[in-house]
Structure 1
Amino acid sequence: MNEPVQNQNAPVTPQYPFVADDEIDLKELFMVLWAGKWVISAITALAGVIAVVVALIMPNIYTSSALLAPAESTSGMSSLMKQYGGLASLAGISLPGGGDSSKSGLAKELLKSRAFLSDFIRRRNILPDLMATKAWDASANAIEYDTELYDVKGNVWVRDVAPPKQAEPSMQEAYNAFTDILSVSEDKETAFVTVSIEHQSPYVAQQWVSWLVDDINQAVKDQDVAEAKRSIEYLKEQISNTSLAELQTMFFELIQSQTETIMLAEVRPEYVFKTIDPAVVPEEKSKPKRALICVLGTMLGGMLGVLIVLVRHYAFSEARSD
């Protein structure tokens, strides 16, 4: 029995199963969306209304900023340490450190540290304004506090929280809340530092920025003065313990340098940062962007409406086909 001979030169038609089922019919898609236009419109309108309500409920936030420049160092301790360090080491004497080249960098990190900010919140007594502000009355320039959190008349915290938290916020909570509204940035080219605070009250924002600049200058100044005094005491001990004239001369020069540091620190209020542009009370809010919130909310509502219509249509189509 002869089997039919297949024509090997005949074109072979490729088989693509399910192509017809997988193709997207744009006309059908348009018809589905048109049929569900009322659902899409309703969801879009609802999302737009919700976005408008949310935007109107959100309080105005004001941002106040100060532009700072690193103050020039005037201490000669580092150069004297380099000059006499070898001589002191040959005599078996270890001199105290005197480097101050990274004073502004230290101050910038100190400005964001937990210890400094916790002490700042305590000394300035700003915990209620930080953790219990509900609104700001522009006409009276007064802060309205959330009565469920803080009792202004009794000056006590009344918030209901689960242990281990207490009614009065801890310094850990206060630190986290403060770092959320604090911004410290540095321009790498100019080394200028910008300190910013966000708050519902523009006057509070301006006041806190000014206080931060004053306190960070004072904190670094106090550290340097205390270190200089300890260095002077150490150097005086070394003078009494050595009979070499060269070493005694070196120690007296180092003492003079440290004394100059203390003197200049006492007469220079802007010790580590000079204020180039001080903080002012902002007249315009920085956020929220209400128009953007409304537009994005409406767009997301429209996308959600389209998705619901398509999912409902194709889910029902598969159910009917089964």
Structure 2
Amino acid sequence: MSKSQNVTNNEGQYSFPPGYYPQPQSNDDEIDLRELFLALWRGKWIIILTTFVFAVGGVLFALSQPNTYKSQVLLTPTQSSGGGDLSGSLGGLAAIAGVSIGGGDKADPKIEAMAILQSRKFIETFIQKHDLLVPLMAIESWNEDSNRVSYYADLYDAEAQEWVFDESKRKSLKPTLWEAHKVFEDIFNVSENKDNGMVTISIVSQSPFIAQEWVTLIVKDINAWMKDKALSEASSKIDYLHGQINRTQVVELQNMFYSLIEEQYKTQMLAEVEEEFVFKTIDPAFAPEEKDGPKRALICVLATLLGGMFGVAIVLLRFAFRKKDEPKQEAV
């Protein structure tokens, strides 16, 4: 039998070879929950202090944020924006007349209008058309009693009605349309109810009356935008059809083209008469009496929780570093 192997004595118990002593397993890496809770208890004042500081900071931050109000309008898509489907009507005649008219299904006017609403071109045009750069970028607060807004004095001079000129940078502080577009995107929202197809447009502002006014203007502008687009397309199709009539001597094709021209004139007539061309208002915008934000209670709760977690993290880190240094001190 090898000396390195364990042997049994007369009583059947294991014994070790001479000079062999089993090494005890180290428990240095094990976490003693008792020590952990004790460390947290000893550091309770650090936790309380950081929680208190964060809570106070959260309260001050929440109180410094101005109230915001959200106004929204509920819309339903109309049927008058469909127009005449020229490509579908002429598709069967292309081989006979030798006319290249293209193909593909006509886009849904509602989807197209929603995409235009959120496009940079429409938003920048909307801001410029209604001169919204100042109320969008420079409002500091709104007074509920007087229903008046105040502006940031270091950004916009309300008396002179001009943007402040920065002497150090030698340029005006007037925001660019790029900056205005980014701010507008944050306060503007377009959503569709998938169940009934209704569309909701909303605006958030420090003034409930500004929010109401802007939502109403947006609905008016998108209807006018889509109407002008339909009128322009109908006019182009009419010109195209007249050109095709002059190119063919086939009477049947000429009569068909005249019928299609008549359809486009009907589209133009309906577009000119209908004010709510693509969206019909179901529930108009109103000036809300209750604020939409900020969620001050939520801000305070989150700040308090964050402070408590930060305090616990500090105590645990101190405990971990102290635990790590203990073996070195014993060795010395």
Partner residue, 2:6: 6
Given the alignment of the two structures, is residue 312 of structure 1 paired with residue 318 of structure 2, yes or no?
yes
Which of 85, 90, 109 is residue 103 of structure 1 equivalent to? 109
Q: Which has the larger radius of gyration?
A: 2
The one-letter code matched in structure 1 to 2:141 is A
State whether residues 77 and 99 of structure 1, in contact with CA within 8 Å, keep that contact through their aligned partners in structure 2.
no
State whether residues 136 and 201 of structure 1, in contact with CA within 8 Å, keep that contact through their aligned partners in structure 2.
yes
Alignment of 1:212-227 (within 5 A): 212-227=218-233
| Larger deviation, residues 3-12 vs 195-204 | 3-12
Q: Structure 2 length as normaliser, TM-score? A: 0.87
Alpha-carbon spacing, 1:74–1:218, altered in 2? closer, same or farther (3 Å): closer
Separation in 1, partners of 2:326, 2:227: 80
Separation in 2, partners of 1:117, 1:48: 39
Given the alignment of the two structures, is residue 28 of structure 1 paired with residue 41 of structure 2, yes or no?
no
State whether residues 73 and 283 of structure 2, in contact with CA within 8 Å, keep that contact through their aligned partners in structure 1.
yes
Partner residue, 1:247: 253
State whether residues 111 and 216 of structure 1, in contact with CA within 8 Å, keep that contact through their aligned partners in structure 2.
yes
Give the root-mean-square deviation of aligned CA atoms: 2.8
The one-letter code matched in structure 2 to 1:6 is N
Partner residue, 1:54: 61
Q: Structure 1 length as normaliser, TM-score? A: 0.90
Which of 302, 317, 325 is residue 296 of structure 1 equivalent to? 302
Separation in 1, partners of 2:24, 2:204: 61
Report SS of the residue matched to 2:282.
strand
Partner residue, 1:205: 211
Report SS of the residue matched to 2:28.
helix
Quote how far apart the aligned CAs of 1:317 are: 4.2
State whether residues 58 and 288 of structure 1, in contact with CA within 8 Å, keep that contact through their aligned partners in structure 2.
yes
Separation in 1, partners of 2:168, 2:190: 33
Alpha-carbon spacing, 1:194–1:169, altered in 2? closer, same or farther (3 Å): same
Partner residue, 1:155: 161
Separation in 2, partners of 1:92, 1:15: 97
Report SS of the residue matched to 1:22.
coil
Partner residue, 1:176: 182
Separation in 2, partners of 1:321, 1:161: 62
Separation in 1, partners of 2:283, 2:29: 64
The one-letter code matched in structure 2 to 1:43 is T
Partner residue, 1:238: 244
Identity of aligned residues (%): 45
Gaps of 5+ in 1: none
The one-letter code matched in structure 2 to 1:268 is E
Which of 117, 125, 134 is residue 128 of structure 1 equivalent to? 134
Alpha-carbon spacing, 1:207–1:5, altered in 2? closer, same or farther (3 Å): closer
| Larger deviation, residues 108-117 vs 21-30 | 21-30
Quote how far apart the aligned CAs of 1:178 are: 0.7
Quote how far apart the aligned CAs of 1:24 are: 2.1
The one-letter code matched in structure 2 to 1:184 is V
Gaps of 5+ in 2: 16-21
Given the alignment of the two structures, is residue 41 of structure 1 paired with residue 51 of structure 2, yes or no?
no
Offset from partner CA, 1:281-302 (integer Å, 9 cap, x none): 1111111111111111111111
